Chains A and B, each alone.
Chain A
Amino acid sequence: MTVVEDVRALVGVPQYEETGEFPVERSYIWTMSAAVENGNPLFWDDAVADAITDGPIAPPTMLSVWFRPHHWAPGRTEQALPLQVHFDLKARLGLPEAVMTDNTIVFYEPVRPGDRLTTRQILRSVSDEKTTKLGTGRFWVIDVEYTNQNGGIVGIESYTGFGYRRLSDGVTGDDGNGGGA
């Protein structure tokens, strides 16, 4: 089996199911809202949140944040990577660089402070080789499903990534070991 066939065999297979290292943190909601100067009173005024959303919620677009680990944790021996399937594809296909080109998020139950979310990643597709202005590589689509501690689905994210070798690297005949991050 070629590497590409090997990778494509994972299409539709749930991988990396895990529960978040931390519950949803309220202070992080304020950090995010401050970073983009989002004054939505749902995040700042408990009376408004009580009236409209039955208590505080997290900004819906923070869904993926709850699964990105803090930069360091005691006893952690290797740096956990969010969207591991994406990094697996880069490594297995020998594509040192990558960008995310397209991202869809569908929102279900609101996420609330204290929630413990569980996620799993599902590869949906891997394209044939293509060349863009960035370089030569492949596009792939990864779904990330999120559920809360009650089993309720809170959202599904779908990412399109493009893993590539820079065109200048290609000229040197680099066969994939570009020392990628």
Chain B
Amino acid sequence: MSGPAPVLEFGDVAEGDILPSLRYDVTASTVVLGALATRDWRPMHHDKDFAVERNGTRDIFLNTPNQAAWFERYITDWTGPRGRMGRVTFRMRDSVFPGDTMVFDGVVSEVTVDDTGCGWVGLDITLSVDGDVKSTCAARVALPVDGDDNPWHRGADRWKP
């Protein structure tokens, strides 16, 4: 690990804030590692011939749970370990293939405090390749409202994701 983890607090964030971009060059290994890590054994995520002949795609492509893990990494790179995800919605528009450079961009869409005192940040995140949006992720993430607050210590009655 490089240096201490960031600790983003709710008060540090405002609607319209832009998250740092993440760029990543996708290889066949990226697709296969993620497919195996998510135990998705379907052949279009590791067998190019199957993907081309049966799915009609140009190559194997990232599976949904692997994309979810990439979005999670993008979010928690920004929040640090105290950020606790409450809800994510993914929409896949097009596939991501080996040879693509994935670019993640995000913007803060909303900041709210709920009736339990939990600080929530809404994020609109895109995964693009060459400027074309391939997937989107709308996320709702809890951040500590102050140095004493830890969203992970909220029990069921104080956690309304």
Using a CB–CB distance below 8 Å, which chain A residues touch chain B?
Answer: 28, 31-32, 34-42, 44-45, 48, 52-54, 59-62, 64-65, 68-71, 82, 97, 99-110, 152, 166, 181
Contact = CB atoms under 8 A, between A and B. Distances in A.
The 8 tightest CB contacts between A and B, nearest first, are A68-B39, A38-B73, A35-B33, A61-B68, A35-B37, A32-B37, A104-B89, A61-B72
Contacts of B84: 107
Contact of B156 (A59, A64, A108): A108
A152 B72 CA distance: 23
Main secondary structure of the interface of A (DSSP, over half): mixed
Nearest to B22: A37
B85 interface: yes
Interface residues of B, number: 46
B82 interface: yes
A107 B156 CA distance: 11
Interface of B: 1-2, 5, 24, 30, 33-34, 36-43, 54-56, 64-66, 68-73, 76-77, 81-82, 84-92, 150, 152-153, 156, 159, 161
Contacts of B70: 36
B38 A102 contact: no
Given A45-B1, A101-B92, A64 B82 contact: no
A120 B133 CA distance: 33
A40 B73 contact: yes
B69 A100 contact: no
Contacts of B42: 181
Contacts, number: 121
Nearest to A29: B37
A126 to B, nearest CB: 19
Contacts of B153: 54
B69 A41 contact: no
A44 B1 contact: yes
Contacts of A108: 156, 159, 161
Nearest to B55: A97
A32 B39 CA distance: 10
Contact of A38 (B41, B76, B150): B76
Contact of B89 (A39, A64, A103): A103
A104 B88 contact: yes
Contacts of B161: 106-108
Contact of B71 (A61, A68, A82): A61
Contacts of A54: 152-153
Given A32-B37, A102-B89, A166-B56, A65 B65 contact: yes
Contact of B88 (A31, A105, A152, A181): A105
Contacts of A28: 37
A101 B38 contact: no
